[in-house]
A = this chain, B = another copy of it.
Amino acid sequence: MAPVPEPRWRRRKEARPADIVAAALELFTEKGFAAARLDEIARRAGVSKGTLYLYFDSKEALFRAVVRDVVVPNVEALRESVLGSATPFPERLRELLPRFAAIVTALPIGAVAKMVIGESRNFPELAKVWHDDVILKSIGLLVELLEAAQARGEVRAGNPRIQAFSIMGPMLLGILWRETFTPIGGAEVDLVAAARQHAETVIDGLSLKESAR
C-alpha cells in the first residue's frame, strides 16, 4: 500500500498566467508597484520566481498585463453602463450612476485606478491606456450624450465636459475614499447609495428649470 506521492508541482501552462496576474493584482494594489516583491507574487501564485519569467518579460511587463487584464474586459461593461437605452437624459442618469457604482464596487477597478494615478508619471503609457480606453469611453461618451441632451433642451447649456465632471466626480471621490481612508479607520462609503442620491442632485442641477422653459 505505497502512499501515492504528491507531485512537487504540476504542469499548468494554461492556468499559470491567470494565476500570476491575479497574485500580482493583489500585491500591486496592496503595496504599489515598487514595494511589491516578485518573490511574494510568485509565492501567492504558487510558483517559483523563475516561472514568472516564463510568462512575463519583466516586472514592468507584468504590471502592464495586470492593468490591461483588469481594464480591457470591463471597458465594455462600463461603456454599456453609460449607453443604456434611448430614454431622456435625466431618466438615463438615474439608472446609469447606480449601475456604474455597482460595477465599480464588484470589480477591482478602484484599486487599479489608484495605482494608475499613483504611477502615471513612471508609466505614462499606462495612463494613456487608461485615458483612451476607460476615460474617453465613459466621460467622453457622457460628453456626447450631454451635447445631444442640451440640443434637445433636456439639459441646461454649459460646458459639457464640466457637466460630466459634475456627474462623475463624486463617484471618483467615493471610489478613492474607499481605497484610501476606509482602511485607516475612515468612514465607510456605500457607493450605490451615494450614486442614487447624487443622481437626484445632479439631475435637478442640470435640468432646464420651469422658469427658463
Contacts and interface: CB of A to CB of B under 8 A. Distances in A.
Contacts of A31: 121-122
Contact of A162 (B122, B166, B172, B194): B194
A203 B166 CA distance: 12
A193 B165 CA distance: 12
Residue among A35, A117, A128, A200 having the largest count of chain B Cβ atoms under 10 Å: A117
Interface string A110-129: 00001111111110100110
Interface string A26-62: 0000111111000000000000000000000000000
Main secondary structure of the interface of A (DSSP, over half): helix
A26 to B, nearest CB: 12
Contacts of A83: none
Contacts of A176: 117, 172
A170 interface: yes
A179 B120 contact: yes
Interface in A50-77: none
A128 to B, nearest CB: 5
B117 A183 contact: no
Contacts of A158: 197, 200-201
A173 B184 contact: no
A2 B131 CA distance: 61
Contacts of A121: 30-32, 183
Contacts of A161: 187
